[in-house]
Structure 1
């Protein structure tokens, strides 16, 4: 063996070139000094490949004696060696089986198997041909692993007509199902990008206690630490804990199938260490040091780093000599011919603390803020002020101002900027863990909408009562109630209403009607809303509406035409806020909020710095592929979201929902339940009676509209709830063969439900009209799934594949529920949806 052809990296990575045998290990003993394993073995986590380049690949497996527990610590028996064989011959028929490889071998490598690394093997194979499909297999004793397959990247100077890949994220073992993986396995792909949350560090957390497929049993951490007290949820802490999670997750045959078929390009997010992590800090609510600061856990962070390194087939190194928690660098980039450069970033290991720390004391309660007010639902004015103070402080002591307000860290940020500037490929894709899109909320407009909605019921009653007193004339009754609501006395309201109605009956224009109302004693504002109500109710009556429906039309016109604008104009001082009896409870919401400051909204100035770099250097065709938030989003990333009109689009961000993790909608729904009326901005409870089955209780997703989804029609509103309704029917034991037909019938009936077609439709339309986040072109906050990308020189299409929900305790037979396509055309920082 020519040692110049072999390099030993990162403790236990071995490297060889095609056509040569390799040796090596983590110690001075070479791999060839270890005896080949004999007897019966197993590969309980199968095989995997990663980081495909034009001339190399990283290959992975874990081998155990046949009698060993698949997820326990590897037995500490004497180390041995196993073989790796590789061929370019077509062995596609052998995928998923341990049939011996056929064809001429291009590599036959002897590799060390060591218990100190939990019997995992990582081998980098070099000297490969570009744009070529290879098949590989490991052999331990008398046992062969399943056959694996990977495709190398095109040469850097190659003209590439098309690339196709999936990006995926957030695969929680403990909730919902992994059916999406079966669907992905059937795609024709060049590789897979995994954006993190490959594992979840907690077991038994509140968000992990929902329905889950029966093939996923309860996780049991070898050690684990209780999050609170001596019972309930635990989190991974030791190396054994983190290793266990990777081992257990990868016993799922569907995840194995993905790794067997496609090379992964993976990065981590937060749950590979701890929720909403920054550097080595834990951010669970209540877990602070005695001085109130976040709890730093460098040993736990190092354990998480090592387990990811051992189990992820990534071409990175772990520096054993580095005694800090930053002992690994996983940000890196990939070239796929002239078509694409893929830049993968690490947005956890180097980021500064959240701008407003969770340990910040709330002066109103004397207790730490925790998540709300620090990471989620953060007052934008407070955020802007604190970020400016932190940056000024850093500058004062001679640091880069972004040092205390960074998500990438100074070194990685400069690396990213250099990579983007130097890129010569048509497309620059960014593997980005947390969304770059502004997700804001104007609290004043939202409260105004909710108070208007709340008033609509009593207004409808008033209109109906008044109509009975004026001979059943709902148009006149609505006009009277409108004037009274706007502040007119009953007598003046009646006189004004009669004058307006008389003018209308005579063919008078709306201006003439208003003039008549003012002449009868109404103010111009009172006359304006009265005229509007008369027109709306008269039109509804002409269209065939009667009674209660006409009262509802009048009520909604008054509520959203007068009450809402009054609250928007006067804020907490509006008479309608006082009349609600909730002034104190609502007063803190009359401001602008950032919904999620764990993502790039929480590092706003750094985002602006990156966008300025792209803009000033004319760097085009930049698209972020993003995970983390458990929702599908598509939109533009602008140079300054706070500028008039939201700034200028610079790049595009396409966000994928999680494979199985509960949706962003479900998290906010649960959090908003404690906020009283504010909860209506997120969800609307709807009880749907189904003949022969019972009542289906839905929580209708209004978060999409609050955040900026286009106003719905009745049909699109019904379609939005299809997947949730299908899942609810499945939970009520409707057979899967009948689910689609039953769902369709219920949706048809639902559109005739007055609560749905009047109250809910009006509310969704009003929330959409708030105009929040106009750069968002697609939103689906209540989904699981993955994203399929097709990239050509002229365009990028991303198919958001939403999956159906559990059927009983199994993944659905029909996995993909709907596909929404986002298209980015080369040369344009814009995205279209179809």
Structure 2
């Protein structure tokens, strides 16, 4: 994390009137002359750190959430139910000698005292530093970076992607190492929290209520996010880079599909009740992530599919494969006899998102078109015999739409299609083929699946199950089940993925290493060892 800058109230320059910045109250606008002091002097309200996200050529969204008692059982973070003015500064240097933007927003109890100021008017492709103030309290300093200018041809792009960080089963050591990397941004592909309760954890902390029960309502989701975000290593990774975020299932509930809850014994099987749970989960997600107002939920709905551009080098299309999908075919598990997974009308994306994705294929001028995707697109057969045994929750349960997507990318002459994926708690480097039922089917894209940060525990290099996956899927070139993240370097000529792994997560302090590196050459679909 960039070191904190200690400043007095006088040192943090006061607002210069309404022209300094718009002052947002929830989703509306408040008067710049309104007074919303921080009501708890002497108590640090920045216990969840700071962050930024959604980089564009002229700006980013900044984030913090006031929480002097992050793990308060009621989810309020120790804050009273009053609005609080939160000031911010953006500078070219970490000592704030050259301040380029300052303003304030109003953090309301209705949105968990979160602040999401959207900063515009910055220079493209440049690093900036930022900080917040509430009353006399100054936040840690964060670092962020804007995207390259439209039409620019940056020499390279460096980022990391990660997913699946179950708090109670492991330390977030991977984020400590990620924070030390030289990155332009971080992509998180889902399962930032898990909805499950727990009564023990490898960290040796005694928590009790409310963390021993499953997460259903807004106070509980807020508390769960606060628990996860209070990790110092995760706070460093948020403070050092802008993040681009989407969700998978555990931000709400395991294997949910549109308005259909997981088929279990929980009291949310009524779609109306489940929509209430979704609304609570989405609100807590927004409150705790560096997302723009365009991602502010409207009840049980939130707009998460979106596209971010990085000059003419790369576009990233972030998908949402939960809100619009048909229910999983033949149940949520796996099998070899599920004919329904081939049905032509089955969708993981929904009509509107699918049209948006295909339109992007045709309109993008970027050399690399990246899809930020939650669940593996590549076929992952679990049986090395002639029988095809697959999971039904990922794209293997929606075969026709997967085949159509890849065919559409080819038809629209996508120069380089690369899919980055989370969910599986395993590392893969894989070829994306038009038709996995045809051994001669052409390769039209590449997929890199990243392992978990902690989920699944310590992991292993190549257990028997991973070898079976390699034996059954010749299009998968690499499998590894250690924990970590994927570091990516993109140039005009090639894409390189470094699988960064730690040997254990059950105790702190694990070292990091690069287990393998795979590349994609420009205009040559498919992965090869570096």
Q: Structure 1 length normalisation: TM-score? A: 0.58
Q: CA deviation at 1:442?
A: 4.2
* C-alpha separation in 1, matches of 2:268 and 2:125: 52
Instruction: Tell me what 1:511 maps to.
Output: none
Structure 1 pair 19/319, CA: closer, same or farther in 2 (3 Å)? closer
Structure 1 pair 783/646, CA: closer, same or farther in 2 (3 Å)? farther
Q: Where do residues 260-659 of structure 1 align in structure 2 (5 Å cutoff)?
A: 260-283=239-262, 285-286=264-265, 297-317=274-294, 322=298, 325=300, 327-356=301-330, 358=331, 375-379=332-336, 382-384=337-339, 386-387=340-341, 391=343, 402=345, 405-442=346-383, 445=385, 592-643=387-438, 645=439, 647-659=441-453
* C-alpha separation in 2, matches of 1:298 and 1:153: 35
Structure 1 pair 70/264, CA: closer, same or farther in 2 (3 Å)? farther
* C-alpha separation in 2, matches of 1:76 and 1:306: 19
Contact 1:131/1:152 (<8 A) preserved? yes
Residue 212 in structure 1 maps to residue 180 in structure 2 = no
Structure 1 pair 333/28, CA: closer, same or farther in 2 (3 Å)? closer
Q: CA deviation at 1:64?
A: 4.5
The CA deviation string for residues 795-819 of structure 1, in whole angstroms up to 9 with x for no partner, is 010000111114xx6313x421442
SS of aligned partner of 1:784? strand
Aligned pair count reads 511
Contact 2:185/2:242 (<8 A) preserved? yes
SS of aligned partner of 1:652? strand
The CA deviation string for residues 750-770 of structure 1, in whole angstroms up to 9 with x for no partner, is xxxxxxxxxxxxxxxxxx4xx
* C-alpha separation in 2, matches of 1:282 and 1:137: 40
The CA deviation string for residues 292-330 of structure 1, in whole angstroms up to 9 with x for no partner, is x9996110011111111111112253567x55x2x2111
Residue 51 in structure 1 maps to residue 54 in structure 2 = yes
Q: Which has the greater radius of gyration?
A: 1
Contact 2:60/2:146 (<8 A) preserved? yes
Task: Return the structure number with greater helix share.
Answer: 1
Residue 200 in structure 1 maps to residue 194 in structure 2 = yes
Instruction: Tell me what 2:151 maps to.
Output: 157
Q: CA deviation at 1:107?
A: 1.5
Q: CA deviation at 1:441?
A: 3.9
Q: CA deviation at 1:647?
A: 1.7
* C-alpha separation in 2, matches of 1:665 and 1:37: 45
The CA deviation string for residues 563-615 of structure 1, in whole angstroms up to 9 with x for no partner, is xxxxxxxxxxxxxxxxxxxxxxxxxxxx7233322111011000000011012
Equivalent residue for 2:489, pick from 763, 766, 790 = 790
SS of aligned partner of 2:496? strand
Equivalent residue for 1:112, pick from 86, 95, 106 = 106
Q: CA deviation at 1:285?
A: 4.0
Contact 1:197/1:270 (<8 A) preserved? yes
Instruction: Tell me what 2:238 maps to.
Output: 259
Task: Return the structure number with greater strand share.
Answer: 2
Instruction: Tell me what 1:25 maps to.
Output: 25
Q: CA deviation at 1:703?
A: 1.1
RMSD after superposition: 2.8
**Mind listing any 5+ residue stretches in structure 2 that lack a counterpart?**
1-15
* C-alpha separation in 1, matches of 2:85 and 2:265: 47
Equivalent residue for 2:508, pick from 797, 811, 815 = 811
Contact 2:341/2:392 (<8 A) preserved? no
Which fold has the larger relative contact order, with Cα–Cα distance below 8 Å and residues 6 or more apart in sequence?
Answer: 2
Q: CA deviation at 1:440?
A: 1.3
Structure 1 pair 281/261, CA: closer, same or farther in 2 (3 Å)? same
Q: Structure 2 length normalisation: TM-score? A: 0.89
Q: CA deviation at 1:218?
A: 4.3
Residue 83 in structure 1 maps to residue 87 in structure 2 = yes
SS of aligned partner of 2:406? helix
Instruction: Tell me what 2:467 maps to.
Output: 705
SS of aligned partner of 1:167? strand
